[in-house]
Chains A and B, each alone.
Chain A
């Protein structure tokens, strides 16, 4: 399958999900259990992306202070928890990684 076609299908699926109940309102009720499941989608998906990026930056588990991405990531999680500010979190996380790379190499 062509990469463009793939992206168009991905976009169409996203659009149809956005449109779904706006268009079907009054004809179809969202079953009560669905929101209870969907509420876990963002935290689960995001955690599934973040964890390997921090703990397996080179493709296998790397638990050591030499893993600078893990250190910077943990700091970023602390900053995100305290500030709830996305821009500050990203800036501090990048800054910590750069400083560690400079100091430790």
Chain B
């Protein structure tokens, strides 16, 4: 097994991220355009891309701002929409356990859906390769010494793309007329994200129930229907899984 170096790992992370960036680019532009349409200032819209740095949550925020819901509801909704990051953190933790606190603080900031998926896929593949070749102990440690640079590369590539595509969306959103129905990109983006997740019966039922619950709860005050419907869907998903 060849011994890796820092920047070799870094650029490998950047390269692995590139195919995903083609999907992120329009997503960021859609966010920028929706943020303007919701009445958010360009400065606030752009800043959100590094303060929150989570595409689907940012798009949900634009919707909540457009409806003028109370700020506490925005915070609660973002917390629920981003809950999945606890899972990413748990699954990434063993690979980063030997790093110092500064590294952990930086890499946690970059742990988006897109960087996580690319890095964890790489780490798991290397782990399996090492096992198959019977590499272990000291040698394995050395082979993995710089793998955090891979996540750094993937994460920074995504970060830069996200900031630039947001800016592009802010420019374009200002000139695109309303008759283009650009706001329809919101449900379309979420359809593209959600459909591949419905791989088993429990998650399919969970999604359908959450959808119907969202219709029933639509008129709940402050757009709290989203959080309520999601919770009903999650609960039903867990119950279906337990009984099958």
Complex interface: chain A residues within 8 A of B108 (CB): 15, 18-19, 22-23
Contact B193 A42 (CB under 8 A): yes
Tell me the smallest distance from the CB of A53 to a CB of chain B, in Å.
Answer: 4
B105 near A45: Cβ-Cβ < 8 Å: no
Whether A94 lies near B190 (C-beta < 8 A) is: no
Q: Are A43 and B188 in contact (CB under 8 A)?
A: no
Task: Compute how far the CA of A9 lies from the CA of B154 in the bound complex, rounded to whole angstroms.
Answer: 26
Pick the interface stretch among B10-18, B46-54, B158-166.
B46-54
CB distance from A102 to the nearest CB of B (A): 11
Please name the residue on chain B nearest to A59 by beta carbon.
B218
B65, B101, B214: the one contacting A47 at CB < 8 Å is: B214
Binds A, one of B86-94, B120-128, B133-141: B86-94
Within 8 A of B (CB), among A23-76: 23-26, 30, 34-56, 59, 61, 69, 72-73, 76
B51 lies within 8 A of A86 (CB): no
Q: How far, in whole Å, are A62 and B238 apart by their CA atoms in the complex?
A: 31
By beta carbon, the residue of chain A nearest B213 is: A48
Whether the Cβ atoms of A86 and B189 lie closer than 8 Å is: yes
Contact B195 A47 (CB under 8 A): no
Q: Considering the chains assembled together, what is the distance between the CA atoms of A34 and B241 in angstroms?
A: 14
Please, which residues of chain B bring their CB within 8 A of the CB of A18? 85, 88-89, 108-109, 111
Which of A22, A24, A44, A86 contacts B207 (CB under 8 A)? Answer: A44
C-alpha gap A34/B23 in the complex (Å): 30
User: Which residues of chain A (74-102) have a CB below 8 Å from chain B?
Assistant: 76-77, 80-81, 84-87, 89-90, 93-94, 97-98, 101
A40-B202, A94-B185 known; A3+B44 contact, CB < 8 A: yes
Q: How large is the interface on B (under 10, 10 to 19, 20 to 34, 35 or more residues)?
A: 35 or more
Contacts A6-B74, A86-B192, A87-B26: A38 and B94 contacting too (C-beta < 8 A)? no
Residues of A within 8 A of B229 (CB): 44, 48
Q: From residue 199 to 244 of chain B, which have CB atoms closer than 8 A to chain A? A: 202-204, 206-215, 218, 225-226, 229-234, 237-238, 241
- Is there contact, CB below 8 Å, between B71 and A13? no
Which residues of chain B from 8 to 33 have a CB within 8 Å of any chain A CB? 22-23, 26-27, 30
B172, CB-defined interface residue at 8 Å:
no
A23 to B44, CA, bound (A): 30
Instruction: Please tell me if B156 contacts chain A, counting CB pairs below 8 Å.
Output: no
* B80 located at the interface, meaning its Cβ lies under 8 Å from any Cβ of chain A in the complex: yes
B81: Cβ under 8 A from any A Cβ: yes
The CB with the most chain B CB atoms within 10 A, among A13, A26, A40, is that of A40
Residues of B within 8 A of A30 (CB): 86, 90
Residues 178-196 (chain B) with a chain A CB within 8 angstroms: 179-181, 184-196
Whether A48 contacts B226 by the Cβ 8 Å rule is yes
Decide if A43 touches B86 in the complex (CB within 8 Å): no
16 contacts between A and B (CB under 8 A): A11-B51, A13-B78, A14-B82, A19-B89, A21-B93, A22-B107, A23-B104, A36-B238, A38-B84, A38-B86, A40-B237, A42-B193, A52-B214, A52-B218, A89-B192, A94-B184
